[in-house]
Amino acid sequence: MPIHLIFALDKGYLFGLVTAINSILQNTASPSRLFLHIITPPSESKFFESEINAYFPHPPFQFRVREYHPNQIIQDYVQRKYQPKSRKSENAIFLLYSRLFLKDIFPDLGKVIFLDTDLIVLQDIAVLFDSISFTAEYYFAAAPNLFPAIFHFSRPWVAISELRKFKQTFNAGVLFIDLSFWGDQNYQQLYRYLAWEAQHNYRLFQLNDETLLNLMFKDYIHLDRKWNCCGFGNYRWISWALRKPRSEIGILHWSGGHHKPWSSQNIPYADLWHAYALEKLTP
């Protein structure tokens, strides 16, 4: 059975994608099972097809590239909430929200793992992929974290009724979903939340689509936390406090801020990222 992995990025994060792919290849016993699905902004698909073939000239995996064209609802939402100053920044925001439309982009897929591009995989991704059989009731999995739900909202008093329903939040950089169970009810729920924020002048949600996903999936399957050891891009004192033995890490994720291993050596595990970065890859 193929292991379907999804990434969403523009060409500015090619180095992150290639490093993540290399880490997956180096740590899986079944590279021939891998099938990569890459979401890009309009007009960048040919670039990624060419670059992946260049970095992996005889890939043991399959891959395909799809361009994401947001629907009018998302276009209007992004314009009103973010007021992007350029097409590049607008496309970057659209890519964040593409996670909410994986079913539309890849209607032929069922079980998928979505991965951010500021991470590396240190254990066999097949172990994660084969670990869950989803059902119509439970088809969304993520690694819980300690981030308080209240910080997802700029006006938490407005969201009291929703906050009471939260059990434990998750970081959306690693998601395990069965898209065969994703349907109209998900989009109806999404659009209700978008309309709710519109009522508050687009100033309610703090963490982009991650807040929306946490709202939509308050009751989700909890993955072992090793599958998203995140927060290492945060303030340095926080990221250093989060360190743990490498043997306890399945996926290492520099989420939480602007400190990334390709731009700073003075953050935890930067040496590991560079160990998987291919020659002349670092920006």
pLDDT in tens, 237-263: 888 898 999 999 999 999 988 899 999
User: What local confidence, expressed as pLDDT, does residue 238 receive?
Assistant: 86
pTM for this model (two decimals)? 0.96
pLDDT in tens, 53-92: 999 999 999 999 999 999 999 999 999 999 999 999 999 9
Residue 153 sits at φ, ψ, to 5 deg, of -130, 135
Q: Locate tokens 């040496």: which residue?
A: 271
Buried b (16+ CB within 10 A) or exposed e, 98-134: bbbbbbebbeebebbbbbbbbbbbbbbbbebbeeeeb
pLDDT > 60? residue 282: no
pLDDT > 90? residue 266: no
- Kindly list the distances between the CA atom of residue 24 and the CA atoms of 18, 61, 261, in Å, as whole numbers in the listed order: 10, 11, 17
Distance CA 159, CA 102 (A): 27
Let me know how many helices (H) and strands (E) the chain has, helices first: 11, 9
User: What local confidence, expressed as pLDDT, does residue 235 receive?
Assistant: 84
Residue 21 sits at φ, ψ, to 5 deg, of -60, -45
